[in-house]
Amino acid sequence: MHLFWSFSLFIIMVFVIGLYCIFVSYNLIRILIGVEVLIKAATLLIIVAGYITGREALAQSMVITLIVIEVVVVTVAVGVMLGIRSINNSLDARRIKSLKG
C-alpha cells in the first residue's frame, strides 16, 4: 500500500503540472503539451490501479487503447494548429477569437 501512496503523489504532481501548463499559457503548442501531460497522468493512474487490483492485463489493454486515441487526437490538433498558423501567422490562443467561419 505504501507503493500506492507514493505513485499517487507523483500522479497528482503530474496532473497539476499539466493543468498549470494549460491554464497559464496562451501558446497552442504549450496547451497541447499540457493536455499530453494530463493524459500521461491518467495513463499512470490506470497502470497503478491495475497493479493494485491485480488486473494488469486489463490495465495494459486500456492504456494501449488510450495511447492510440491520444495519437489520433494529437494528430488532428496539430493539423488544426497548422491551419490556424497559416491564417493568423501566430499560435496565440487569444488571436483565435478573430477567426470567422
Of 31, 60, 33, 30, whose CA–CA distance to 48 is shortest? Answer: 60
Angle, helices 2-24 vs 28-53, to 10°: value is 160
**Cell 496547451 found at:** 31
What is the model's pLDDT at position 79? 95
Q: Give 87's pLDDT tier (boundaries 50, 70, 90).
A: confident
User: What is the signed CA dihedral for 64, 25, 76, 46, rounded to 10 degrees?
Assistant: 10
Residues 6+ apart with CB under 8 A from 78: 32
Helix (H, G, I), strand (E, B) or coil at 1: coil
- Its pTM surpasses 0.95: no
- What is the model's pLDDT at position 97? 77
Write out pLDDT tens, residues 9-68: 999 999 999 999 999 999 999 999 999 999 999 999 999 999 999 999 999 999 999 999
User: What fold does the segment set 2-90 form as a domain?
Assistant: Helix Hairpins (1.10.287)
Under 8 Å between Cβ of 58 and 50: yes
- Looking at residue 2, its pLDDT comes to 75
Whether 52 and 2 have beta carbons less than 8 Å apart is answered as no
Q: State residue 20's pLDDT score.
A: 96
For residues 39 and 97, give the distance between their C-alpha atoms in angstroms, rounded to a whole number: 26
Q: Where along the chain do its domains lie?
A: 2-90
101 band by pLDDT with thresholds 50, 70 and 90:
low
More confident residue, 2 or 18: 18
